[in-house]
Structure 1
Amino acid sequence: MRRVLLSAYACSPYKGSEYCVGWSWAVGLSKKGFEVWCMTNTEDYKDCEKEKQELKLDNLHFIPVKLPVVADKYWLNNSRKVIYAHYYLWKKKASNVAVALHEKYNFDIAHHVSYGSFQQGSSLYKLNNCKIIFGPVGGGQMSLPIFKPYFGSSWGTEIMRKYMSEFLMKYNTSLSETLKRADVVLTVNEETETLLKTSKYYKAGHDFSVSDSALPKQFEKNQFKAKESTEEFRILWVGRLIPRRGLELSLKALSFLPEYVKYKLIIVGDGDQAGKIPSWINKYELDASKIQHMGWIPYSQVHEEYENADIMLFCPLRDTAGLQATEAMGFGLPIITMNISGMRTIVTEDCGIKITPTTTDGTAEDIAGAIEHMYSNPDFRKKAAEHAYKRAMANTWANKIDLVTDQFY
């Protein structure tokens, strides 16, 4: 049985996004028969152990990398920027843990999957005499200047992110050593692939494009159900309420809709911008009764919202891939999204409508036009729903892990 060391900082059986990525790799690799040791943080360790026992995966071992109590208690908070400081310290500690584990178990493969940040590098570069796989990773994508108004005071952070990316590319030892050692680098979008190729440590022929967005096992039971048109057109928005997710842009787009579009916008998620929703509703003169902010809800309840919606509106201003869109497609939801980053390939032309950003107002108007088209053309919407479902159901974690392991393990 081949032995794999997995670096999955975020890993949980009960959460989405990065957490789902880490968990899906850990479980998927063990189900394929690999002996897997998964380094993760302490936040969801008990949940991982509990679910592992339920699945009877004796060949899966979770290794919680602990930091000083103050760091694990106050910095391990994914809704605050201190999480990046925690991740930095975790990587340093995990690197030494990885060396000790390798000395004990002599791994065949060391694979970094979470966080999926290219510029941050990996904690696995110190390992010798094993194959190292870095990714799928993103991070090459940058926000377009036309979106500056939607970032407000945090636009300065976006500018700093650009400079920080350039700094890390030049001076981050973790990244440079990772690129030197990695046998394979998996990138999730064109922007990150381009960024990789600017590095002096780039090795031609050792990089491949692989999305980090896929459906977990529980979606395999989903059956496609054609949705009949109802009086209320339900638009679903899912994500953290932070500037780069672009909720304000989506609300502005609603202001351009003609009155005959009888919509209801369901917002699922929480974050720093939650308190701004009422002021945005006033700013764009929207009818507050047509907008429902549910806040954070359990993952199982999010699935109910997928089932009840007619379309998903997913227009982030900057994003790596788009797990929410893939999940929504698994419930047969047509997608309105941006033709940027990972969404270029996740959503094809027959699965919804992709908006190519133009100007600040023009992009919002184009989103409104897409919503109106979906509303007024139920036949188009039903066909897009069926295509979205079929595409998502072919994009399962089991299939993705088969693809990666068959080619690179």
Structure 2
Amino acid sequence: MTETSTLRRLRVLLSAYACEPGKGSEPGTGWHMAMELAKRYDVTVLTRANDRGPIEKELAESTGPRPTFLYHDLSGLYRFLKKRRILPTQLYYAMWQRDTRRMLETKSVSDFDIFHHITFNSFEISPGVPAGFRGALVRGPLGGGQTAPPALLESLGWLDKLKEQARSARVRKSAASSRLQRDLAACDLILHANHETGDLLKQGQENRRDPMIDVGVDPSKFSPADHAKDGTRILSASNFEPRKGTRLLLLAFQRAHQDNPSLRLLLAGSGKLLAQDMAWVEANRLSNSVSFLGKLDHQKMADELSAADVFVFPSLRDTSGAIVLEAMACGLPIVCLDHQGAKVMVGDCCGMRISPESLEGTLDGIARAILKLASNVSLRESMGHRARERVLAEFSWEKKASRLSEEYQRLV
């Protein structure tokens, strides 16, 4: 007997502001979870009208059960202001949540068994509750409670350091707000994507909360790496922005390169710090050993992962990191900081997690981890194999939807 045949067929209203096929991060989470849950339940997805084109195209080409989509966006003026970055995304998002609640007043929301808000995953902006809804409320997996380690802020410029400190203060204040506490208390289940967010939100809350990473991966899209190579291709991928820790990685790689000049670092991505980091590489005479790949599409990124030997994720602040799961699906050992979502995804068996307690210790730890993995093919092979096994067992979209389905069944 299949899992689906034994389930009570629920009606699920999924709030997914970010939801788009072919994307990573939160848009990918919204899309993949909607499609997987639709195999088990009658799913209606509330999302942005802006993404209707790619969604409808993908639905037309798909087979099997599909969700129903409700599209909504603010007026053209607000979209124009958002596109020009005059209206901040978070403010637009809060206004979108308000408008969708009004829109749902014309729908029969009382017919739904579950109202699950899944994206955006920030705990700071509540989706509220549709008027007339009487079913179970689910939020998450929530993130945003993580903050950059104070010791590593020294790797940033003074202005970026100040911005991170201000954000950390705002996060603490937001978590203590009475409105947030009321909104969370109304939930039947709160999922948190990392322990930092879970610990921040648990004060005064008696309702159930469980850990669940917010991202997933389709392992069939990624080919395992060839571990017979020489171990010198070190890959990292992210936006070039302060919190992503690219400069931290460059400083650590510089140390590792002094001991093993054959090492090569490949950096994929784009962003405001790209030019500065390229200039730093040039000034430190590492141009022959560090390559900037630019922003890659999904297929090219998958190809680079399969060709790499080690993946490094040096982020100072991240709810999770879908790219980490993609690297693990390719059978790559991971080097990351021992915090936040990376700590949840990367076990001791499949990577090396570096304590972020001090800047010097972190730089030395990343450098040593790179050198150790680069020089030990059996360790790379063992960790890489277990990394892919871990993804298959816990982090595929199918596994995540199956676990979420179990949570739904408990609630009703």
- One-letter amino acid of the counterpart of residue 122, structure 1: P
Selected match of 1:17 from 25, 31, 41: 25
Does residue 364 in structure 1 map to residue 369 in structure 2? no
The answer for the alignment partner of 2:246 in structure 1 is 247
User: Counterparts of 1:96 and 1:177 in 2: how far apart (Å)?
Assistant: 20
Quickly say closer, same or farther: Cα 1:369–1:58, change in 2 above 3 A.
closer
User: Counterparts of 2:200 and 2:88 in 1: how far apart (Å)?
Assistant: 26
- Paired residues in the alignment total 398
Give runs of aligned pairs for residues 112-131 of structure 1, distance below 5 A: 112-124=117-129, 126=131, 128-131=133-136
Quickly say closer, same or farther: Cα 1:225–1:289, change in 2 above 3 A.
closer
The answer for the alignment partner of 1:6 in structure 2 is 14
Q: 1:332 Cα shift? A: 0.6
Determine helix, strand or coil for the equivalent of 1:47: helix
User: Counterparts of 2:408 and 2:144 in 1: how far apart (Å)?
Assistant: 22
* Contact 1:253-1:367 within 8 A present in 2 as well: yes
Give runs of aligned pairs for residues 76-87 of structure 1, distance below 5 A: 76=83, 82-87=88-93
Quickly say closer, same or farther: Cα 1:346–1:24, change in 2 above 3 A.
same
- Listed as ranges, the gaps of 5+ residues in structure 2 are 1-8
Give runs of aligned pairs for residues 7-406 of structure 1, distance below 5 A: 7-32=15-40, 34-56=41-63, 59-76=66-83, 82-103=88-109, 106-124=111-129, 126=131, 128-152=133-157, 153-171=159-177, 173=179, 175-198=180-203, 200=204, 202-204=205-207, 206-216=208-218, 219-220=219-220, 222=222, 224=224, 226-230=226-230, 233-257=232-256, 258-282=258-282, 285-394=284-393, 395-406=395-406
User: Counterparts of 2:265 and 2:132 in 1: how far apart (Å)?
Assistant: 49
Determine helix, strand or coil for the equivalent of 2:379: helix
Determine helix, strand or coil for the equivalent of 1:70: helix
User: Counterparts of 1:223 and 1:191 in 2: how far apart (Å)?
Assistant: 32
* Contact 1:312-1:335 within 8 A present in 2 as well: yes
* Contact 1:117-1:137 within 8 A present in 2 as well: yes
User: Counterparts of 1:301 and 1:255 in 2: how far apart (Å)?
Assistant: 26
- One-letter amino acid of the counterpart of residue 30, structure 2: G
User: Counterparts of 2:108 and 2:246 in 1: how far apart (Å)?
Assistant: 44
User: Counterparts of 2:132 and 2:291 in 1: how far apart (Å)?
Assistant: 50
Quickly say closer, same or farther: Cα 1:80–1:151, change in 2 above 3 A.
farther
Determine helix, strand or coil for the equivalent of 2:70: strand
User: Counterparts of 1:325 and 1:127 in 2: how far apart (Å)?
Assistant: 40
User: Counterparts of 2:213 and 2:173 in 1: how far apart (Å)?
Assistant: 26
CA RMSD of aligned residues (A): 2.2
Q: TM-score, normalised by structure 1?
A: 0.91
Q: 1:379 Cα shift? A: 1.1
User: Counterparts of 2:317 and 2:383 in 1: how far apart (Å)?
Assistant: 24
User: Counterparts of 1:278 and 1:80 in 2: how far apart (Å)?
Assistant: 29
User: Counterparts of 1:160 and 1:210 in 2: how far apart (Å)?
Assistant: 27
- Listed as ranges, the gaps of 5+ residues in structure 1 are none
* Contact 1:7-1:124 within 8 A present in 2 as well: no
**For structure 1, which segment, 12-21 or 221-230, has the greater mean C-alpha deviation from structure 2 after superposition?**
221-230
Q: 1:203 Cα shift? A: 1.6
Quickly say closer, same or farther: Cα 1:225–1:368, change in 2 above 3 A.
closer
* Contact 1:150-1:249 within 8 A present in 2 as well: yes
Percent identity between matched residues is 27
Q: 1:96 Cα shift? A: 2.1
Q: 1:223 Cα shift? A: 5.3
* Contact 1:236-1:313 within 8 A present in 2 as well: yes
Determine helix, strand or coil for the equivalent of 1:31: coil
Q: Deviations over 1:57-90 (max 9, x none)?
A: 564122222112132234158x999222222222
Q: 1:280 Cα shift? A: 2.5
Q: Deviations over 1:355-385 (max 9, x none)?
A: 0113212211110011000111111111111
- One-letter amino acid of the counterpart of residue 185, structure 2: K
Q: TM-score, normalised by structure 2?
A: 0.90
- One-letter amino acid of the counterpart of residue 13, structure 2: L
User: Counterparts of 1:221 and 1:166 in 2: how far apart (Å)?
Assistant: 39
* Contact 1:254-1:286 within 8 A present in 2 as well: no
User: Counterparts of 2:131 and 2:267 in 1: how far apart (Å)?
Assistant: 43
